[in-house]
Amino acid sequence: MSSGRAGGADPRVTWVDAAKGICIIFVVMMHSTLGVGIAMGGQGFMHDVVAFARPFRMPDFFLLSGLFLGLVIDRPWLRYIDRKVVHFAYFYVLWLTIQFAFKAPGMAMEGGWTAPVQEYLWAFVQPYGALWFIYILPLFFLFTRLVKRLPVWFVFVWAAALEIMPIHTGWLIFDEFCARYVYFFVGYAFAQNVFHLAIWMRTHRKAALAFLAWWAVVNGVLVFTAAPEMLAGLIPPDGEVTGGTGGIAELPFVSLLLGLAGAAAVVAVASLVATKDWAAWLSWLGAHSIVVYLAFFLPMAMTRVVLVRTGIITDVGLVALMVTIAGIVGPVILFLAVKKTGWGKFLFGRPDWAWIDKSGRVRPTAPQPAE
């Protein structure tokens, strides 16, 4: 593969948005399904879908996050820090505070009034809940800027080694950096290859469908086939909280290969459906994926509580599906309401005071999703 560092495409590429849409659906699905499973004390068909997606769900999200970095990595440091660090820091602090506003009363009742304060401060060291993705992205952007002059092959091999090694210190950011950076770097360093792959998949539909069929079978078999007992100790201990099955797919080397293959599969699916009118909603969702990522926790939690407590539906899989839909639709409704009314623009767009580099900034006429 060549190592083209620039995506060579407009920042608003339909298939990229469609791929992000697929990823954000799987992310919401994981949190919704596992939460429902715990609340109802069982598992349903959605747990199998979550397990199937585990090898590629976050790898592809990080790969897509790095795709366009080559276009802006040489910006002046102030602008780079503003767009790639301050931007995400603002949304992390904002939505961390919003989440704690809802959860603090319960924490105070269980552990006293100091408990939520301690947990809130600790969240700046150990990211809180699903917000870890927003926390770690600036670190990836900064680190990549610092190593951009190193040989691509060297950084790739080093990052791949980190993913392969069973590094589990308990510090979420360090562990996730080791496990995920290779995919972000692949998106950045091999962006041209990824775009060429998307074009090839779109122009060779039969071959693309054959690849997807082969990949789906291999991914499924490796996910749902238990790892040999002698190798089980190499499986990351976080499997139960991320939809793991203890399968071969979670073993070193295998997880890296499946992560890259799964990312290629998502690229293939996105490139095939992005031009279809019926898939326009998927591209829109991907273009606003950060909106869903930031705000899905509340509609997800509220829907889960209502459905579980009423007991109207007893099927775990069906409840998980409904909670997933609520977790996706809820943030979209909130975003559209903000856009229409003009109230709450700060939820999805940085206010003036949160910019440290205002040069070259175009003032938006409507609330904008996080970049």
Count the neighbouring beta carbons within 10 Å of the beta carbon of residue 109: 10
Query: Maximum distance among all alpha carbons in the chain?
Result: 61
Q: From first to last of its 371 residues, what are the pLDDT tens digits of the chain?
A: 333 344 333 446 899 999 999 999 999 999 999 999 999 999 999 999 999 999 999 999 999 999 999 999 999 999 999 999 999 999 999 999 999 999 888 888 888 888 889 999 999 999 988 899 999 999 999 999 999 999 999 999 999 999 999 788 889 999 999 999 999 999 999 999 999 999 999 999 999 999 999 999 999 999 999 988 777 767 776 644 455 667 899 999 999 999 999 999 999 999 999 989 999 999 999 999 999 999 999 999 999 999 999 999 999 999 999 999 999 999 999 999 999 999 999 999 999 999 998 775 655 544 455 44
Encoding tokens for residue 195?
Answer: 């775009």
Encoding tokens for residue 344?
Answer: 């709450």
What are the φ/ψ torsions at residue 226 (nearest 5 degrees)?
Answer: -60, 140
> Which uninterrupted H or E stretch holds 130?
none
Model-level pTM? 0.91
Distance in angstroms (rounded) separating the CA atoms of residues 251 and 248: 6
Answer yes or no: are the C-beta atoms of 296 and 131 closer than 8 Å. no
